Structure 1
């Protein structure tokens, strides 16, 4: 208490002296400031050894710098001549005065060196940390009639994260026979060291693809490299099947699509067209913030969105036809009705395509659900009283049945492992989709027996451990069905 009182008294006396002698107070404060600056200078002198050296004294790792420049060029799609730009060289001379400038030839060597380094990393990863790899391939022909093929590996790491790596992109040598394509894939598998780790291959739905995949499957089975003799080896691309079905469906309204395409071009092709369209929307009380969408004729999703947006402005287009004598591409009322039916029909396909393209985690368990929903929708449309949609649905189902029959096994197995559905949902779906009850039971039994085979193969490869349920000490399969029912 006494110390506190003394401090308060000293403070009050100091404040009183400051009022009586302001010049003394200024001198006192200046002295304190000078002492602080002296201490700061001493601190900086003591810490000079910890400060970073001047730029010209830093040691630069030329190899690391070459790698970073190479990554800069590749990741940003810069031209190779970028390293010879005067501005880039001036910048490098300022940052690294002793650095030897890079030319195009050096950069090309650096690109190859970096590619080889990254390939070795992926090879080591696939060899040491990945049990099974699924492969997807695509084939297409250039305008010069050269056939190209890409190989993409899909795998799940030890943390259950989905990855995909583009392993190869090459020209398939003429005459492009099934044997040539099979040899090309086999060479790629050997080069990456995954010829004995392949689980499945996904290709577009085409007869030529089916032939070379069957040949590849037979070759791998000779080496005993596939699980269950490749029962689930060959899969068709769901996205490609959807594309084929939708493209054929859009042909039912080809003329209407062309009219919508020209209508959108008319509106967005000039300021006058936009202003007249906005005025038509205003008269109809339709908001203009939704906007129209142009399409790319080879991408059905863009066409779907174009039709969907045009339907929103249907009354505005009909009114524009009355307002503007130059606008002559408005669909008729009957054509608008067909467009509306087709858009409604394609909505499930758009939802599935969006789901498949946007997610970065395994979706095999969802594919069966969406495939069933589309199959069920087509069955409902076939039984409807609308003659137009009945014909459309029958045509769609013919193509969809091939995908469903070829892929329902692997999709059903993936669904069994989803704790929300399991065996009971798969059994119910088969019963809903099959007119014949015995056929549904046969399909369900096929799924269960194949899942049992797969489990037994993995059981033979891995020491599961734990208490044995059989006389021979092996862990039986039956206890595991209890959690899958």
Structure 2
């Protein structure tokens, strides 16, 4: 055999007999496949699909793809590893933790409860993690929900650091929070976005608006169900030099969806009208779908009003934002915008009056007590302190300041506990002897507050006289730079500014519908938990 023939045979052997994949490389590939399943929310059965197996065989011929069972085990092992890592992180960094929680049902009609944790770490960075997504087959009573939350917090060993729970306005959730407040002294807040949604829905009950929304949904449904109409709408947009967009349908449980539906419909008014009036596309029986001119005018007015709500809920729902401190100024800003204008139609004036009244009533803006977290958080945010206090009389301001000082009084107890036990966690009030002056906990329990120490009041006053930073600035950056100057006030800031204004973090877990899909409807609950935990937390946690 010639040299040339030997060379050809050697080259051919390289294709026929794939190079061996080292054990280390095989492990790295398998780990990346596991991460792909987690991060892209792919079904675990993907590893058994012919297309994927053929792709891996082409890319790495010497790699033997593990079984579906092995990848499931790897996911659960990774989950256990990262969960332990997060437990340690919470012990080291979280002095105060605020939770959000929500209940949901999967496509497989299995009930789950999700809990997220929010805190400010030692570097004044807001952290947010999904702690648990567990099956909840029991009846969703207040007692059962409270018990489940206590079990979760006990499992994570954060009982002494949880101070607040944000939740929806379900009667069972309210009952659970009352139990937890009585037993563990946890405070609780309703989701700001949920409350705003209920306020808007009250305005939507006005007859003319209710009829308009029903008519708008019929138009959207018609285009979604008719391929001919949908294609004609695309063509009309091209003819009118408009960017191709689809109509959006509203969903009663999704924030801002009615605004999005009306806004998109208004933007596509002329293409929609053109299609509905085209006898070649629309049957005579469907010509009635187009809105009347006065209805289009009402759409225009509603979109202008609802835009403020969309902006507010979007901002308050960002997980990375310090959000609760902005809730009070934003709510008052919305009410200011809802003052009827002379150019408003009678319907819009009525809508504004109803929604404004609902906001004041549901958020109790005219009767908030001095210890309400919404108020205290706004004052402890350097951007909004003057704006918030400026809405109250001098005597009311004194009461609000006392609310802050009473939280400041806990600092000495916290500092003594920290130095005595070498832990950064604030002690539970039951674990320490109460000082003679009463603490914030005493106020929550209904006891009268004592007169604050002058030194604490003077530090608070010094903070309040500081010029506020620009509204767009991150208040945590300000506190990182000024915590040394306002040692005790910063303790309160770290306690309050981690509170989220909405339950978006826990709702985001299931609202996308990507974790338990039709392709994953047979997922066992423990695998659902592992996948959600890793999908939501993997990029935030680094294990070296």
TM-score by length of 2: 0.64
Matches of residues 297-376 of structure 1 in structure 2 within 5 Å?
Answer: 297-298=251-252, 299-314=254-269, 324=279, 327-358=287-318, 360-376=320-336
Q: CA deviation at 1:329?
A: 1.0
SS at match of 2:260: helix
When the two chains are superposed, the root-mean-square deviation of aligned CA atoms in Å is 3.7
Which whole-Å CA distance do the structure 2 matches of 1:337 and 1:260 have between them?
A: 13
Cα distance in 2 between the residues matched to 1:235 and 1:341: 32
**1:227-274 residue CA offsets vs partner (Å, 9 max, x unmatched):** xxx5xx211111211222233433432332233334345567455675
Counterpart position of 1:11: none
Task: Between 156-165 and 315-324, report the one with greater CA deviation.
Answer: 315-324
Residue from 98, 113, 132 that aligns with 2:96? 132
Kept in 2: contact 1:277–1:320 (CA 8 A):
no
- 1:332 Cα offset (Å): 1.5
Corresponding residue for residue 44 of structure 1: none
The structure with more helix, counted as a fraction of residues:
1
Task: Quote the Cα distance in structure 1 between the aligned partners of 2:379 and 2:154.
Answer: 33
User: What is the CA-CA distance between 1:164 and the residue it aligns to?
Assistant: 1.5
Does the Cα contact within 8 Å between 1:162 and 1:362 map onto a contact in 2?
Answer: yes
Counterpart of 1:47? none
Task: Provide structure 2 residue ranges, at least 5 long, that are not aligned to the other structure.
Answer: 1-17, 420-452, 466-544
Partner of 1:219: 183
Choose the corresponding residue for 1:74, options 38, 51, 61: 38
Q: 1:119 to 1:316 in 2, by over 3 A?
A: closer
- What are the equivalent positions in structure 2 for 1:70-469 lying under 5 Å apart? 70-85=34-49, 91=56, 95=60, 97=62, 101-141=65-105, 147-221=111-185, 230=186, 233-252=187-206, 253-264=209-220, 269-270=226-227, 275=232, 288-289=242-243, 291=245, 293-298=247-252, 299-314=254-269, 324=279, 327-358=287-318, 360-378=320-338, 380-381=339-340, 386-405=345-364, 409-422=372-385, 424-430=386-392, 443-462=396-415
TM-aligned CA deviation for residue 296 of structure 1: 3.7
| Structure of greater Rg | 1
Aligned residues: 400
CA shift, 1:89, in A, is: 5.7
The TM-score with structure 1 as length reference comes to: 0.71
- The 3 A distance-change label for structure 1 pair 65 and 292 is closer
1:131 and 1:142, CA in 2 relative to 1: closer, same or farther beyond 3 A? same
- The 2-side partners of 1:316 and 1:94 are apart by 48
Deviations 1:117-165 (A, max 9, x none): 1110111111122111110001235688754311111122222222211
**SS of the counterpart of 1:165?**
strand
Partners of 1:310 and 1:88 in 2: CA distance:
41
1:411–1:287 Cα change, 3 Å: farther
1:361-395 C-alpha deviation (Å, 9 max, x unpaired): 322332222111112233x1399985423432333
| Counterpart Cα distance in 2 of 1:350 and 1:68 | 38
